[in-house]
Structure 1
Amino acid sequence: MIFGASLPAYSEQIDTFKVINNMQDRTYNIQNLPEPRRVEGVTADNFKQRVTDVYSPAVFKGFAKQWPLVNAANQSDQALCDYLVNVSTNTPLPLVLLPQKTKGRMFYSKDMRSMNFQRAQATLQQALAHMMHFAQANQALAVDRVCVQSARIKDVMPKLEKELCNPLLPDNHPFIWLGNPVTVAPHFDEAHNIAIVAAGVRRFTLFPPEQIDNLYIGPLEHTPAGQPVSLVDLNSPDLTRYPKYAEAFKHALSVELHPGDAIYIPSPWWHSVESQSNINVLVNYWWSGNYVSSALPFPMLLHAIQALKHLPEDQQTAWQHMLKHYISHDDTRWEHIPPTLRGVLGNRNQSVINKVHNWLKHKIAR
C-alpha cells in the first residue's frame, strides 16, 4: 500500500517537472525576443548618421528585393539552383557536412575535442545536388545536411557579383553562404557586417558585447569556424549548466528575415544565425578599415591574454590602466608630443600602420 500510494505523488512530481521545463522553454524562446530597430530609406548619404553612428543592429526590410538572385529564389528551389549554376565557375567550394543526428547545429562533438561536422570540397553543382537531395528526401532518411560557408563571390561566382547592387558598400567584395537548415552558435565578427538574405528564411539572434560573461564562451583557439562561440544552445538553453544565460536573454534581440531583407551587425556584437528553409542563401559584406593582420582586434586579445594573464594581479591592474589611457579618443592626451612624432597615437595613415605592423612582426619573431 505504501509503495502503491507513492506512485501518484511521484507521477505528479514528474508532471510538475515537465510543466516547469515547458514554461522555461517558453520563457527563453528566442522568437519572443524584441527585434532590432528597423531603418527605412537608408542610403549611402545617410548610412553613417542613421546606421553606423548608432551602436546597435539594424534591419533593412526589402533592401535587395530587386536582385535577380532573390527573384530566382522566390520562384522555386530549382530556379534558384539553375540561376546559381549559370553564374558559377568550377572552382571547388569549402563544404560542411552535418550528420542527421546534429539536427543542423554546427558545433562541437560531445567531448568538445573535435567538431560534430566534417569538412570537404565540392563544385557548386555537386553541393547544390546534395542540398536538393536533402530538400526532397523524406526526413526519416539519414541524409546529411550540407552548407557552403563563406566563399568569396568574386572567386567562385564572378558573374553573380556584377548583379549584386549594394549602394552602401559599393567597393566591398561580398561573400556567399548557402545550404540546408543550419544553426551557427553565437559568435562575433572582427568587422562590421551587412548580411542579406537572398533565399530561404533566417533568424538572427543578437547579444550586446557586454553580455560576454553571460554567454559561456568556449575555447578561443579551438573553435568550429575560427571565432569563439557560446556553448549555450539558444533553442534549448540548459539553465542548470549555464544559469547566467538568463541575464543575457534579457538583453537579446532576435529577428526573422526573408529574401531581400538585410541586417547590419556592428562589431563585435554576438550573433547566432539559424537558416530555416530547405535551401538557404546569404550574401554578406564585411568592412572595418583594418588592412593588416596586426590591426585586427582578435589577435590583440589573444596576445593580451598571453602577455598579461600570468602577471600578478597588481601588475594586471597597472596594464589595464595603461590600456585605458592609450585606447582613447581623447587626442588632447597627446598634445605634449609634437604632431610629427606621435606615430601610432597620431594620424594613423597607411605609412604609420605599415611601420607599426612591421615593428610588431619583428618583436614577435624574436
Structure 2
Amino acid sequence: MPLPPHALATVAERRGVDARAFQQEILPAGQPVILRGLVDDWPAVQRGQASARSVCEYLMEFYQGKVVPLLIGDPAARRHIFYQDLMAGLNFERRPATIFDGMRLLLGQLDEADAPAIYMESLPVADCLPGFAAAHAMPLLGNAVSPNIWIGNAVKVQTHFDLKLNLACLVAGKRRFTLFPPDQLPNLYVGPLDFTPAGTPLSMVTLDNPDLARYPRFQQALDAAQVADLEPGDALYIPYAWWHHVESLEPFNILVNYWWTQTQSPVHNYDALLHAVLAFRDMPAEQRQFWRQMFDYFVFETGGEALGHLAPEHRGHLGPVTPEKLAAIKAMLAESLGRR
C-alpha cells in the first residue's frame, strides 16, 4: 500500500520571496519550493474566494470567444486522466468548445459526485483571455514568460514531467502535487514516448492504489517523494524534469502556470533520444559502454569541457553553434537517416 500523504516528505515552504531570492536562491538549488501567498493579491484569487461563479464571471471579462479543447473523461475512470484498460486508448476525449461553455458545464455539475472529468488544460492566456496577464503580474519572472490557465473539476493528472521549469499558481480550489526527483525514472515504470495523453510519458503506476507486486520499485519512488498541498494564492516551483502527480481536491479548480527554459535546444530532445535508441540500444554491452563514455565526454561533459584543449574554431561540429553550422548538421543528419 502507498504511504499516506502525511507520511511523505513535504516540500519546503517560503514566504515573501522576491525576484532576487527566486533567481539567486531557489532556482540554483534545483528543489521544489512552495511559495505561500505569492499571488494572494491577484483579483482572480480574490474572486475565487467568493465563489466559483464569481471567478468565472470575472474571467469572462477577458474572454473574446476563443474556441479551446475541452477534455471530457469517461465517468467510469473517476476523473483520473489516464489510459483505458490494456492501453486500448485514452480514457477521455477532447472536443472543441468555448471557455464559456466549459465553465457553464463545470458550474452545472459542482454537486454531482459522479460527474466525469471536465478539464480545459494548458490554455495560453494571451490567446484565450487577453488582458488577464496584465491584470495579474508575476514579478518573479517579468513579462517575458506568458502564462497558461487550467480550469476543471476534481481531476487526477497522472505522474509526468515537463522539459521546462514550472511555476504553478493556484487561483481557486485546492491542489495536491506529489513530486519525484528526476533520478526516480527507473522506479516509476514509464509508459511509451509516442502514445501519451499530453505529449510527455507517464508513470504507469497509479498513486492512490499502486500495485507493488507488479511495480515493486515504486516503493523506492515513494520514499523519495515530496508532497505539496496548495491553497488559493499559493504557488509551487517545479524544477526541470521533476515528475509530478497533480490532484485537484475540490469540485472547481483554476490554476495558472508559467513554463520557461534557460536554454533553447535547436533540435527536439525526444528526437535526439529516439535517434540514440536506434543507434545504440541493440549494440553489445561493451560497445554501448564505449558510447556511454563518448556521450559523457562530448555531450554531458562530465570530465570538463569537451575538446577544451582545442581552439573553438578547430572543434568542427562540436564547436560553437552558428546558424550555418546548425543547417549543415541538420542536412547531414537528414541525409544519414534517409540512407538507412
Q: TM-score if structure 2 supplies the norm length? A: 0.92
Q: 2: CA distance between counterparts of 1:243 and 1:329? A: 31
Deviates more, 1:327-336 or 1:58-67: 327-336
Return the structure number with greater helix share: 1
User: Which of 100, 103, 110 matches 1:125?
Assistant: 100
Task: Pick from 128, 131, 139 the counterpart of residue 167 of structure 1.
Answer: 139
Q: 1:232 aligns with which of 194, 205, 219?
A: 205
The answer on whether the counterparts of 2:15 and 2:37 sit within 8 Å (CA) in structure 1 is: no
Give 1:66 deviation, angstroms: 0.6
Paired residues for 1:207-356 under 5 Å:
207-292=180-265, 294=267, 296-326=268-298, 327-328=300-301, 331-342=304-315, 345=318, 351=322, 355-356=325-326
**For the residues of structure 2 that align with 1:324 and 1:162, how far apart are their CA atoms?**
44
Q: How many residues align?
A: 334
Aligned mate of 1:359, from 318, 329, 334:
329
Equivalence for 2:126? 154
Q: Which consecutive unaligned segments of at least 5 residues does structure 2 have?
A: none
Report SS of the residue matched to 2:19.
coil
> For 1:273, what is the secondary structure of its paired residue?
strand
Distance 1:344 1:203, change over 3 A: farther
Deviates more, 1:253-262 or 1:234-243: 234-243
**Where does the alignment leave 5 or more consecutive residues of structure 1 unmatched?**
1-23
Q: CA RMSD in A?
A: 2.0
Give the partner amino acid of 1:47: F
1:165 Cα shift? 1.1
Aligned partner letter, 1:38: E
Partner residue, 1:54: 29
Inter-CA distance 114–191: structure 2 relative to 1 (3 Å threshold): same
1:273 deviates by: 0.7
Shift, 1:303, TM fit: 2.4
Structure 1 residue identity aligned to 2:294: M
Aligned-partner Cα distance in 2 for 1:342–1:202: 49
Deviation at 1:93, TM superposition (A): 0.9
User: In structure 2, do the counterparts of structure 1 residues 128 and 246 end up closer, same or farther at CA, with 3 Å as the change threshold?
Assistant: same
User: Residues of 2 paired with 1:68 and 1:239: CA distance?
Assistant: 44
Partner letter of residue 169 of structure 1? Answer: L
Change (3 A) 1:313 1:204: same
Q: Which amino acid in the other structure matches residue 102 of structure 1?
A: A
Residue type at the aligned position of 1:84 = L
TM-score normalised according to structure 1 size: 0.86
Task: Give the equivalent residue in structure 1 for 2:14.
Answer: 39
- The one-letter amino acid of 1:323's match is F
For 2:5 and 2:330, locate their aligned partners in 1 and report how far apart those are by CA, in whole Å: 43
**Identity %, equivalent residues:** 34
1:158, distance to aligned residue in structure 2 (A):
0.8
**Any residues of structure 2 matched to 1:45-194 within 5 Å, and which?**
45-137=20-112, 139=113, 143-170=115-142, 171-194=144-167
**Amino acid paired to 1:325:** Y
Structure with larger Rg: 1
Q: Which amino acid aligns with 2:295?
A: L
Deviation at 1:97, TM superposition (A): 0.4
Go from structure 1 to structure 2 and tell me whether the alpha carbon gap of 1:363 and 1:41 turns closer, same or farther (over 3 Å shift).
same
